[in-house]
Chains A and B, each alone.
Chain A
Amino acid sequence: EAQVTQNPRYLITVTGKKLTVTCSQNMNHEYMSWYRQDPGLGLRQIYYSMNVEVTDKGDVPEGYKVSRKEKRNFPLILESPSPNQTSLYFCASSLRPPGKTGGRGTQYFGPGTRLTVL
């Protein structure tokens, strides 16, 4: 089954304790992206990756890191989490960047990770 998986689905942690949220897709997609969703703000893009070893900042990259060593994986790293990073996080992937014709830009979203930083 074609899907985007994220782990963990729920995480409660404390300020300053490094954590990684994994994201994996099995569709051979080139484009992957991380978003955070906060009430009243919608989804905001954190980082995106056009392909292996190619990553770029989205709108809210501060406090986050990513890596794309393999095509299927795009982990989100919080080196020193803070309470303002408490949010719902989504990973997404698409064959091409969003919007490309023929459906190749259709983004597939993971189930989300609810992160609470105390």
Chain B
Amino acid sequence: AQTVTQSQPEMSVQEAETVTLSCTYDTSESDYYLFWYKQPPSRQMILVIRQEAYKQQNATENRFSVNFQKAAKSFSLKISDSQLGDAAMYFCAYRGAQKLVFGQGTRLTINP
């Protein structure tokens, strides 16, 4: 079975600084997708960024980028120029065949 692990329950960063959230996963599949979701206090789940495993190029969405290391099964999220609105719970997720498997989440605090 696939597993997703986020080893940092909590992280904090100064506003305007850069922070990296870690995620590792375990799978025997070769074709899969990886995601980062943001869950603000409103509790809604917002897709931040997506990476297809067959693509070597790391995905980027404005201030958000990933470092995808397929051999190491690592998928970290880098947030540049952190803003107060980035404060949220962040979930890493994996999808192989059909199920979507989530990590435990990392609570990110932005210090003004």
Bound Cα distance from A97 to B20, whole angstroms: 28
CB <8 Å contact, B102 and A105: no
CB <8 Å contact, B44 and A45: no
CB <8 Å contact, B102 and A42: yes
CB <8 Å contact, B91 and A42: yes
Partner of A99, one of B32, B43, B91, B105: B32
Q: Which chain B residues border A68 with CB–CB below 8 Å?
A: none
Q: How far is the CB of A98 from chain B (nearest CB, A)?
A: 5
Q: How far is the CB of B35 from chain A (nearest CB, A)?
A: 7
Chain A interface extent, by class: 20 to 34
* Chain A binder among B10-18, B57-65, B72-80, B93-101: B93-101
Q: How far is the CB of B48 from chain A (nearest CB, A)?
A: 11
Pull 30 A–B residue pairs with CB atoms less than 8 Å apart, ordered by A: A35-B100, A42-B4, A42-B102, A42-B105, A43-B45, A43-B91, A43-B93, A45-B99, A45-B101, A48-B99, A50-B98, A56-B98, A58-B99, A59-B101, A88-B43, A90-B45, A92-B45, A97-B98, A98-B33, A98-B35, A99-B32, A99-B52, A99-B95, A107-B45, A109-B44, A109-B45, A109-B46, A110-B44, A111-B44, A112-B43
